[in-house]
Structure 1
Amino acid sequence: MDGYTIGDLARRTGLTVKTVRFYSDKGIVPPSGRSHAGYRLYDLAAVARLDLVRTLRELGLDLATIRRVVNRELSLPEVAAAHAEALEVQMRTLRLRRAVLRAVARRGSTPEEMDIMHKLARLSEDERRRLIDDFLDATLAGVPAGVRRSLTPDLPDDPGPEQVEAWVELAELIGDPGFRAAVRLLSDHYEPSATVPRPGTVATIRSLVRRAMAEGMDPGSPEARALAAAHPPLPEAAADPRWTRYLTLLATVNDWPPPEDPAPLHEWYRRARSS
């Protein structure tokens, strides 16, 4: 009977004889017949089948799936789509690991710090969201949803080392009980109405001070004293540097412009009230 031997298939496909025999033994590329001497023979369809098997193996498919594809038990497009999704997950994981390693190299982290960074960075998107939601629920329960969204970090699929570092520091910060208590005090000064949220005490005073400073008003002037006398003192929590740090880390993770440093506004207002 005419046909190709295992050696012929190996030469035509570029695979080794051992590999072709393995696929044949597994029933993935069965012989079409036998020679008079009992050797396995294969037809042209086997050549095409081997080419497909080699391609699927290079793409990372396991042998069980390949057998079902070549036997037409599974649709190749369906398998390709599922495998592409699996590869995307692997790629996201690898990109995150790469970012963690680069962050460690930048910071010169200790093994203990690297372990913490890796554990926090490898959290799934849902796990990261639950971590943040727990913080926001505990500290900003009465604040409108739009404000909460603006305070939610969203680590991208392909983060840079700066974003990984910022996410890790932010995750550690929101677990600090003292910081949580300060944020709860700060949230009391945001006054949502029943329909449209409006800025509370802190935002209102900062806006007025920002305008006064832009106009060149001296904090010791009568105008500044009158402005300060018309409003209450700013809560200490508003000047907490940890909150500014949170906003800075948030901007880094989300690739937003850096936030305004409120310290000069608070210092101007303090001087106006004490003059």
Structure 2
Amino acid sequence: MSTSHDGLWGIGELAARAGVSVKTVRFYSDGGLLPEAARSAGGHRRYGPGSLERLRMIRSLRAMDLPVSAVRRVLDEDEDTAGRAGGALEDAVAGQLRTLGSQLRALRWREAALRSVQECPPAERPARLRLVGAVTSSPDTAPLARFWRGWLPPRMPARSVTAFLEVAVPQPPEDPDPGQVLAFAQLYAMVSRPCDGSAGQPQPHAHRDAGARESAVLYAGLAEAYALAATEMRGDREPCPGEALDGFVDAYASARTTADTPDFRRTLSRQLAVDPRIDRYWELTAELTGPPEPTPGAAHDWLCAALDADTGTALPA
């Protein structure tokens, strides 16, 4: 209860009841979060008993690290709804949880990066530090997406590009181990360095002069063939002719509007053999994504080996 004759408290009394400093009360008052009820004849601030509960609410909200703007919205809504919790508080808490989650993910990534440096041999630590230090604590996959946009046919439809990127660009784990941080850093370095001996990204033979329709047909067919090959690989089956290989060859034949013949298969086998390879990308992707699961690159290699076996162009063991 107030000890003054007018039922109001001075700033010092309010601060004492709330267990805060006068400076804190003044800060919230000056910011408009804690309106004063009146001023004394001498110009001193006076607060009503309701200010104590409001001040406690402000402190609780600020203890959750909510910004002043969010605190203001919650308090304004609290007045409008007569103290019943509303959407402003729910939104503020949800937003703070999202922020905290991002911060925790960044801290987990930073910890794993430091452990990666700590656990490698002392002579390798400077190079390891430069490698993992080039990746932010909230890893950005945009460089990986740019790498693939340079690899894919330039006139490939946006929908097909998006579908491929969802498979080809691995998402960094939220709670990585040191090996996964290292794998992502190596991927980042791989796709960020300039292409040696070329003004741009090397293009597979199948991509050259491919129009929008041809590239869409090709990659839709490849996606189905890779899925079939992945099933064979999970069963530890050696590369061999079958439905997966037929779908693989048909994807190329359909994109080129030609028939799947023995001659076409032999020509395709030779062309795929000299295409630029990015096996290391897929190896690192497998390390990053955790439990062994056939990547598109591994499926492609399996199908190329099956094609070689089918056409008799496989190298002797």
2:134 to 111, 119, 122: 119
Which residue of structure 2 lines up, in the alignment, with residue 210 of structure 1? 238
The 2-side partners of 1:252 and 1:42 are apart by 62
1:34–1:163 CA distance, 2 compared to 1 (3 A) = same
Query: CA-to-partner distance for each residue in 1:39-67, whole Å, 9 max, x for gaps?
Result: 54322210111111111211223345534
The 2-side partners of 1:274 and 1:21 are apart by 85
Give the alignment's Cα RMSD to 1 decimal.
4.8
Query: CA-to-partner distance for each residue in 1:126-182, whole Å, 9 max, x for gaps?
Result: xx24x223322433549986666443222134433222210111122234636975x
Query: CA-to-partner distance for each residue in 1:77-104, whole Å, 9 max, x for gaps?
Result: 4444444444444344333333332323
Query: CA-to-partner distance for each residue in 1:216-254, whole Å, 9 max, x for gaps?
Result: xxxxxxxxxxxxxx98789766997x61x3322101222
Which residue of structure 1 lines up, in the alignment, with residue 24 of structure 2? 19
Matched letter for residue 116 of structure 2: A
- How many residue pairs align between the two structures? 243
5+ residue gaps, structure 1, are 213-229
Contact 1:100 1:121 in 2 (8 A): no
1:172 to 182, 189, 197: 189
Contact 2:17 2:52 in 1 (8 A): yes
Matched letter for residue 136 of structure 1: W
The 1-side partners of 2:273 and 2:129 are apart by 34
The 1-side partners of 2:41 and 2:219 are apart by 91
1:2–1:34 CA distance, 2 compared to 1 (3 A) = farther
Which residue of structure 1 lines up, in the alignment, with residue 46 of structure 2? 41
The 1-side partners of 2:30 and 2:138 are apart by 43
The 1-side partners of 2:50 and 2:148 are apart by 62
Which residue of structure 1 lines up, in the alignment, with residue 119 of structure 2? 106
Please tell me whether residue 153 in structure 1 is matched to residue 165 in structure 2.
Answer: no
The 2-side partners of 1:193 and 1:25 are apart by 65
Over the matched positions of the two proteins, sequence identity in percent amounts to 27
Please tell me whether residue 184 in structure 1 is matched to residue 184 in structure 2.
Answer: no
Which residue of structure 2 lines up, in the alignment, with residue 96 of structure 1? 109
Contact 1:121 1:164 in 2 (8 A): no
1:21–1:149 CA distance, 2 compared to 1 (3 A) = closer
Contact 2:131 2:186 in 1 (8 A): no
Which residue of structure 2 lines up, in the alignment, with residue 2 of structure 1? 7
After TM superposition, the score normalised by the length of structure 2 is 0.55
5+ residue gaps, structure 2, are 1-5, 81-87, 209-214, 241-264
1:55–1:187 CA distance, 2 compared to 1 (3 A) = same
Contact 1:153 1:250 in 2 (8 A): yes
Alignment map for 1:190-205 (pairs within 5 Å): 196-197=221-222
Contact 1:3 1:41 in 2 (8 A): yes
Contact 1:248 1:258 in 2 (8 A): no
The 2-side partners of 1:15 and 1:39 are apart by 18
The 2-side partners of 1:159 and 1:61 are apart by 28
Matched letter for residue 177 of structure 1: C
The 2-side partners of 1:30 and 1:156 are apart by 47
Contact 1:186 1:237 in 2 (8 A): no
1:134–1:39 CA distance, 2 compared to 1 (3 A) = closer
The 2-side partners of 1:152 and 1:64 are apart by 37
The 1-side partners of 2:55 and 2:90 are apart by 18
